[in-house]
Structure 1
Amino acid sequence: MAININNLANNQVTARQAEQQQVQQQNNQGAQQSAQAQANTARQDSVSLTNNAQQLNNATKKANASSGFDQEKVDKIKKAIADGSYKVDAERLAANMITKEGNIFGL
């Protein structure tokens, strides 16, 4: 009875390769399951604003909603000009003009 040594060696190599493939498949399956579990875990992010940020946000919303034009005030001034009761404070007007120009030109 003759034993073929080449076949024994080939069978052992094939068995090792099969074991390595099985281990690799198990590792791949474990990695896939882990990735899927992480993807399935619901992640909830949250943001909280400080009071100042909330106030600024509210003011911005109001400003965006506003036209910036006060028709009631315009009508009141028109009426005062028409009936002659509108008075201009020349000194105050001049002081404001000087202040504004100073701000513009850095004086």
Structure 2
Amino acid sequence: MRLNELLGHRVIDADSNEIGGVADVRLVQDGPLLVSMQRALRVDGLIVVENRSTRLFGYERHVGPELLRRLVHWRLGNVWYLPWTEVEQITDGIVTITTRRTDLRPLEEMARY
């Protein structure tokens, strides 16, 4: 499966409730050293938005003016970070996770970097 195929997948929590859709995939470059002398990328987690939008504007986190961030959040609804370790299964446009909606961390709570 290609990473872009995950975009737009519905996300279902441990209670079988739909919580949103996959809007982005977060990669970390900490894998084994490659021939190109760079580290390999690995999937660290998914960015899930409540309104199943597949477009992020870059204002979901700590950047930009407050008013603009509020407008983006109004359009997208809640935006969560879902660690890859919490993904249980991916089938037919659905990502099933092992946690409940109430246990997900808002994207804004992630460390700034």
Q: What TM-score do the two structures reach when normalised by structure 2?
A: 0.17
Report 1 or 2 for greater relative contact order, CA contacts < 8 Å, sequence distance ≥ 6.
Answer: 2
Larger Rg over CA atoms: 1
**Larger strand share, 1 or 2:** 2
Q: What TM-score do the two structures reach when normalised by structure 1?
A: 0.17
